[in-house]
Amino acid sequence: MILFIVALMNSYLKQHKRLYRMNLKQVFHLVFLCCFFLGSIFFSACANPESLPDASPNPKTIVKVPSNYKNIVTWGKQYKLRSRWVQKDKKMNLYTASDVVSFEAESQKVTINDISFWISYPIKSANGTMYMHQQDISTCLEAILKPKARSQVKIVALDPGHGGKQPGAVSGKMQEKTYVLLIAQEVKRILENNGIKVVMTRSSDKYMGLSERPAYASKQNANLFVSIHLNSAASSKANGVEVFTTTPSGARSTNPDRSGSRARTAGNAYDAYNSLLAYHIQKELVDQTRMTDRGVRRDRLAVLINTKMPAVLVEAGFISNKSDQKKLLSTSERKKIANAIAEGILNYNKSISSSKSDSLSSSSNSRRNITQIDKL
């Protein structure tokens, strides 16, 4: 059609070589042909919409998300969690009147009531909502939001790291093995005053192998295993507290895997309870000591992979950082750390007493009348 119009105009102009001699009628004809030409292009485009550029993406286009990812908005509704965008397609919160869970697209960290939790797979944003890997939902969110009822904790195994020929992290004359034992002894005192029996992998400066520690806890019929350590880093700026759980089977650890294997281990039988215990201890450590929140993390640590009960490893500060070191050297500050670990264990015990709690923070918000630390 367009080619026909062009040929017609060309023929017309050849018949009227001298435009300045054109009369009014001829000018009208030329204008008419031009309008007809432009109109034909317009109606041709309307008849074929694909020829026009798309001004915006089609809102009805559905992005395919891996089948092992679940819509967190849909998931949250079953726990009466509402959703809101903090930043469209980038950051989202699920919340109730007292709890907030924050997500960020492509991040492997979620925040639960201001406590960081490092998950194994990145959050996905698509189709106007956000998605989370099913394994992370079950071993993180559901573990903390809706813990399954379990027998009460009656015996806790405390594991002060290192000892004997193994000093652990060292800074000047300060050795990790000495201070973690002091913290563990204070945790023991508080738990026992609250009716929980405590066994310790070491109560003096002696060495015990890594595999012997969880084995001893099993032999003593412990319901929980809590290993206590201090951190160290090449940079003196690194600081804060963190709690480790063993990594769920097949998943990536927060730090590069040390074992070289992602196979299921004995400790994975308690993935949900590991997360719940770690969350409560980390929350108390951050709230009571005001140290930097490095979050709940995952790693296949030797003392965690073969435990036959829920187990965590606490890193109670950096011996290589001046601010953290000052707290660790202070008797009163160490007692705050010990009190936080003990209260985290007691809050865990409360949270597993019933599966009816719908609040993430219900156990930690209702403070226990536990034996307080000595007056400072």
pLDDT truncated to tens, each residue of the chain (376 aa)? 544 544 555 555 455 544 445 554 554 565 555 555 555 554 444 444 333 343 333 456 788 999 999 999 999 999 899 999 999 999 999 999 988 999 999 999 999 999 999 999 999 999 999 999 999 999 999 999 889 999 999 999 999 999 999 999 999 999 999 999 999 999 999 999 999 999 999 999 999 999 999 999 999 999 999 999 999 999 999 999 999 999 999 999 998 777 678 999 999 999 999 999 999 999 999 999 999 999 999 999 999 999 999 999 999 999 999 999 999 999 999 999 999 999 999 999 999 986 544 455 555 554 444 544 443 3
pTM score of the predicted model: 0.81
Q: Is residue 54 part of a domain?
A: no
Domain boundary among 89, 110, 145: 145
Does residue 374 fall inside a structural domain? no
Q: Where does a domain end: 145, 180, 201?
A: 145
Judgement on whether residues 141 and 181 belong to the same structural domain of the protein: no
Q: Which segments of 181-326 are extended strands (E)?
A: 197-200, 224-231, 241-245, 293-298, 311-318
User: CATH no. for residue 263?
Assistant: 3.40.630.40
CATH number at residue 98: 3.30.457.10
Q: Into how many domains does the chain fold? A: 2
Ordered DSSP codes for 76-108 = HHTTT-EEEEEETTTEEEEE-SS-EEEEETT-S
Residue 73 covered by a domain: no
Domain that holds residue 275: 155-365
- Note whether residue 61 is domain-resident: no
52 inside domain: no
Domain assignment present for residue 370? The answer is no
216 and 359 part of one domain: yes
Are residues 245 and 356 located together in one domain of the fold?
Answer: yes
Within a domain: 45: no
Residues 248, 228: one domain? yes
With DSSP H G I counted as helix, E B as strand and the rest as coil, what are the percentages for the chain, rounded to 5? 40, 20, 40
- Tell whether 326 and 207 lie within a shared domain: yes
Closest CA to 279 of 142, 187, 184: 142
Residues 250, 353, single domain; the answer is yes
CA angle 364, 360, 126 (to 5 degrees): 145
Q: Name the domain boundary from 126, 145, 164.
A: 145
Residues 249 and 119 in one domain: no
Residues 198 and 278 in one domain: yes
